[in-house]
Structure 1
């Protein structure tokens, strides 16, 4: 899969450039793993960001930057940062436009469209920045709030992409 990448700029309340954009990353970042979280209150999302923080060095060893994107206000996202002290970019996407650009799934029809709490599902998009233009190298679109790729699976996928 080599779909084009949508560039964006969003407030970053954690490590890295603020505002954050893919083009602002250093050239030595070969991959970007974009984790599209459901919302500020999602306990699965909160666990995932902490698990990623615990294993951030494994991603960095693979020239990969981890980025979590939360469809919430800067204030809500800052609460996560003050609680979890994440060592990677944590972005506020209050209008969910980045999630929409990367086709973060929304379920439950009109009810899901009205509220991220009911409808927005988690997603992970791996961007490959090694070519002339960045491309989407892999995606995982959750079908439920629990449907998230295992970190070991993501690490293995990055290893495969690096060797290709």
Structure 2
């Protein structure tokens, strides 16, 4: 067997042995602090790949603690912020909408809060895609993320789009 044939065989085997990775994209991220000690980041996370994934955790060196959170309604109808210790599912072709009052990245123990224009670096840890580093601008005036992934860019109407 020639060297080239062997090399092609090895490369083919490696290609099929490696798991397919999710194709993660982060859209419209921003962060803000609600007080000097706590803040949050919001964005849309898309899995454009063919493999289901799971956002397991988030890391940042800015605050004392960084966690994945959501709001869950308790038996009395009160929304309570909850740490998602098991992470968040991200199906193939799906998305995680991190919005105020819903899923988000929570920063605790900031000390001085965030300043407008500051950039926060976080690392998302996914089961399949591995680490994804995101630079998040601080914008204290923003109140929502914009998800343009479903927009039909061939039309001029805004019907059916969440702005």
Is TM more than 0.5 here?
no
Query: When the two structures are superposed, what TM-score results if normalisation uses the length of structure 1?
Result: 0.29
Query: When the two structures are superposed, what TM-score results if normalisation uses the length of structure 2?
Result: 0.29
- Which structure has the highest strand share of the two? 2
Which protein is bigger by CA-based radius of gyration? 2
